[in-house]
Structure 1
Amino acid sequence: MNDVAVLGAGMHPWGKWGRSFVEYGTAAARAALADAGIGWQDVRSVVGADTVRGGYPGYVAGATFARALGWQGARVTSVYAACASGAQAIDTARAQILAGMAEVVLVVGADSAPKGFFAPAGGDRPDDPDWLRFRLLGATNPAYFGLYARRRMALHGDTTDDFAQVKVKNAAAGALNPYARYRTAVSARQVASSPVVADPLRLLDICATSDGGAALVLSSMAYARRHGAGVPVRIRAVSTVTPTYPRTVLDLPDIATDSAVAVDPPALGFGESIARAAYEEAGLGPDDLSLAEVYDLSTALELQWYEDLGLCGPGEGAKLLREGATALGGRIPVNASGGLASFGEAVPAQAVAQVCELTWQLRGTAGERQVAGARAGMTANQGLFGHGSAVVAVR
């Protein structure tokens, strides 16, 4: 197994603090170092997940965080993969460790998000499908969240109450998480009475944009043993796969392109491909998981992840939810952290934060939201332009 150890995990609480992303990332990094029981001087590499909204420092996040912590000669790497940036940063750190380039690597992601829904940053980019979606279709992110929701309703019979129950479940978990932005339970009635944003989705069906930071200290297994880490949480697999032809337009849900109508669709959807690659590398399957952290940009999208991860069959996501299987205390809790429903998006930090949650759960230190007997967990999300993102951690 190509395992690497998770020595430390740290976060800066999510919110709308109005300060630099550097402050959030530095706080998370120091918390992760303290959790690992090592000093900043022991770190030999820093991998930063980039933010395009932080100006030049955001584009060179590895060096930005190394400078903020105090130059000490460590190598630096900066990674951008949209919402998958954190997972790519973890994968880069893992590769450096397995290649013998560094025994201890610090991974940091942080963001200071603008108010309102995300819009493309960096001016006109006519070769960018995200920019084209906004400019030509006027489709903000919630617009295509709504399209996904309508598709599930048409194909699988999902209802708006099913979507609302996802929010109810995640808000209940988030109320127990000190790092979450929203720490108040909500009812299905409150979801149903919130304003419509993109029919059929309402305000409480859609995640906010947030400030926040997360960090991990990863090491070789040999270093972890020398450090006296006992049996640490281990990263067993990272999936960063790309889509399979003819999927060429990922920003909108299964809208036909010339290639899509001329060629049979791939055997696996993109989310399924992300999960399959992670399972194959880890040597595990859905039945081995104790919990999962998935990318709930909207309530409907969480249901799709249930199916993509193989937690249930196609079209059975709502059924799994209704059975209580994905709630705390259920057979396979999903988003025990509270998910993006409780945190909001801090783009380069969220995939790192997902692994922080797995780490605390697998250690048995997640407090009131602890999943009993947790032994293996998986994260999943995806980034713009075909960036896959899944991490499998075990104890």
Structure 2
Amino acid sequence: MTGEVAVLGAGMHPWGKWGRGFVEYGTRAAREALADAGLEWGAVQSVVGADTVRGGYPGYVAGATFARALGSQGTRVTSVYAACASGAQAIDTARAQILAGMAEVVLVVGADAAPKGFFAPAGGDRPDDPDWLRFRVLGATNPAYFALYARRRMALYGDTVDDFAQVKVKNSAAGAANPYARYRRRVTTREVAASPVVADPLRLLDICATSDGGAALVLSSMDAARRHGVADPVRIRAVAAVTPRYPRTELDLPDIASDSAAAVAEPAAGFRASLAQGAYEEAGIGPEDLSLAEVYDLSTALELEWYEDLGLCGTGEAAKLLRDGATALGGRLPVNASGGLASFGEAVPAQAVAQVCELTWQLRGRAGERQVPDARVGVTANQGLFGHGSAVVAVR
């Protein structure tokens, strides 16, 4: 175990399509996190910003951008980019600074102003990037990519389009109770089925939107938390980040990376499972210890993949776990009690930070109508482009 840091404050800017700049969203989230921590901006010794590639130069130096927006006071700044894993790796950077004694109070901020439609490659031609090649050579945009996962699950495990729709129904019920969610309305399986097909078998309501939003955390050393009068804070106990292991490479989809026989063979454990295992080992826990999980539901079918990768059930058993109600609010182990990306949409550098905000509120017992009873341990998980990801374990 490498050490724990305290979560003193959590804050968010509501998700939506607001038509304003990412700096405004991140600054509001930061101020909410500072207020939640009971601290003034001057108490912050370091700012770690999760970068956005859509925000021009300010987006590439997000740490400095947010520090300037909050008021230049000489704080250390760091900027982190890891695609959809940016927020969690920003948390890991902040944790490392605290554990190394470089700072006692660190502010982590992620925010984005996303375009309409699905994300296209940014930053020009990148022929050395497998994800750029996936878009440009295969024509496999993200919805098509998600549909391949869904088709594989249907072929291997017998998952159905109704199973996928039930994930959306579950997450919309949780999102309806979350004031920060973009979509706050319950949907039915009939509504999912009636939505347009985007990439067969996935329909519009099976796939998350792109959104504007921001999230922030105030992290500190345990000593600083105690001096601040917080005797039992939520604690970050582990942050794991891994890349794939050969032969499961960046795409992590054997049925498009090799011959067609792979599509009907039992897939080997991929890097997402290794990611979860790394987080569990560092935290000294197992999936049996979890109270809840926040996972990266870019599509409904992908959420089911995470159940298995996190060890919540055996391979091919995710749909049964869902059908039994285990992952819904009130179930044995709620997944995406926040409403997930199904309810928020993607605001790329903010979403992994937002996941930890949700764990913080849940572990404090302050999640309102979506509260998981007696929550003590939570895990987050997400996957970034170019084949890497992150997982965070928080405890109380």
TM range (shorter): over 0.9
Match of residue 383 from structure 2: 382
Measured after TM superposition, the shift of residue 229 of structure 1 is 1.1
Measured after TM superposition, the shift of residue 134 of structure 1 is 1.5
Give me the whole-angstrom Cα distance separating, in 2, the residues matched to 1:294 and 1:192: 23
**1:219 correspondence with 2:220:** yes
Cα pair 1:62 1:78 within 8 Å, conserved: yes
Task: State which drifts further: 290-299 or 240-249.
Answer: 240-249
Give me the whole-angstrom Cα distance separating, in 1, the residues matched to 2:266 and 2:102: 41
Match of residue 372 from structure 2: 371
**1:19 correspondence with 2:20:** yes
SS at match of 1:351: helix
**1:90 correspondence with 2:130:** no
SS at match of 1:139: coil
What one-letter code is carried by the residue in structure 1 that aligns with 2:44? V
SS at match of 1:255: helix
Measured after TM superposition, the shift of residue 362 of structure 1 is 0.1
Match of residue 330 from structure 2: 329
Match of residue 179 from structure 2: 178
Normalised by the length of structure 2, the TM-score is 0.97
**1:155 correspondence with 2:153:** no
Match of residue 35 from structure 1: 36
SS at match of 2:107: strand
Measured after TM superposition, the shift of residue 18 of structure 1 is 0.7
Measured after TM superposition, the shift of residue 106 of structure 1 is 0.3
Measured after TM superposition, the shift of residue 194 of structure 1 is 0.5
Correspondence list, 1:97-116, <5 A: 97-116=98-117
Q: 1:152 to 1:229 in 2, by over 3 A?
A: same
What do residues 312-371 of structure 1 show as CA deviations (whole Å, max 9, x unaligned)?
Answer: 000000000000000000000000000000000000000000000000000000000000
Measured after TM superposition, the shift of residue 227 of structure 1 is 0.4
What one-letter code is carried by the residue in structure 2 that aligns with 1:364? G
Measured after TM superposition, the shift of residue 385 of structure 1 is 1.2
Match of residue 279 from structure 1: 280
Cα pair 1:144 1:251 within 8 Å, conserved: no
Match of residue 140 from structure 1: 141
What one-letter code is carried by the residue in structure 1 that aligns with 2:380? T
Give me the whole-angstrom Cα distance separating, in 1, the residues matched to 2:227 and 2:255: 50
**1:129 correspondence with 2:98:** no
Measured after TM superposition, the shift of residue 135 of structure 1 is 1.4
What one-letter code is carried by the residue in structure 2 that aligns with 1:30? R
Correspondence list, 1:52-91, <5 A: 52-91=53-92
What one-letter code is carried by the residue in structure 2 that aligns with 1:19? R
Identify unmatched segments of 5+ residues in structure 1: none
Task: State which drifts further: 147-156 or 268-277.
Answer: 268-277
Identify unmatched segments of 5+ residues in structure 2: none
Cα pair 2:237 2:394 within 8 Å, conserved: yes
Measured after TM superposition, the shift of residue 249 of structure 1 is 3.3
Give me the whole-angstrom Cα distance separating, in 2, the residues matched to 1:208 and 1:285: 32
Cα pair 1:148 1:253 within 8 Å, conserved: no
Give me the whole-angstrom Cα distance separating, in 1, the residues matched to 2:267 and 2:219: 35
Measured after TM superposition, the shift of residue 238 of structure 1 is 0.3
What one-letter code is carried by the residue in structure 2 that aligns with 1:72? Q
Paired residue total: 392
Cα pair 1:97 1:105 within 8 Å, conserved: yes
Give me the whole-angstrom Cα distance separating, in 1, the residues matched to 2:287 and 2:185: 31
What one-letter code is carried by the residue in structure 1 that aligns with 2:110? G
Q: What is the CA RMSD across the aligned residues, in angstroms?
A: 1.6
Give me the whole-angstrom Cα distance separating, in 2, the residues matched to 1:250 and 1:376: 30
SS at match of 2:137: helix
Give me the whole-angstrom Cα distance separating, in 1, the residues matched to 2:266 and 2:48: 36
Measured after TM superposition, the shift of residue 254 of structure 1 is 4.3
Match of residue 298 from structure 1: 299
Give me the whole-angstrom Cα distance separating, in 2, the residues matched to 1:306 and 1:123: 35
After TM superposition, which residue ranges in structure 1, 4 or more long, deviate above 6 angstroms? none
Normalised by the length of structure 1, the TM-score is 0.97
Cα pair 2:49 2:61 within 8 Å, conserved: yes
What one-letter code is carried by the residue in structure 2 that aligns with 1:7? L
SS at match of 1:237: strand
Measured after TM superposition, the shift of residue 122 of structure 1 is 1.4
Give me the whole-angstrom Cα distance separating, in 2, the residues matched to 1:129 and 1:368: 42
SS at match of 2:256: coil
Cα pair 1:93 1:107 within 8 Å, conserved: yes
SS at match of 2:11: strand
Give me the whole-angstrom Cα distance separating, in 2, the residues matched to 1:199 and 1:267: 25
What one-letter code is carried by the residue in structure 2 that aligns with 1:362? L
Match of residue 352 from structure 2: 351
Give me the whole-angstrom Cα distance separating, in 2, the residues matched to 1:254 and 1:344: 27
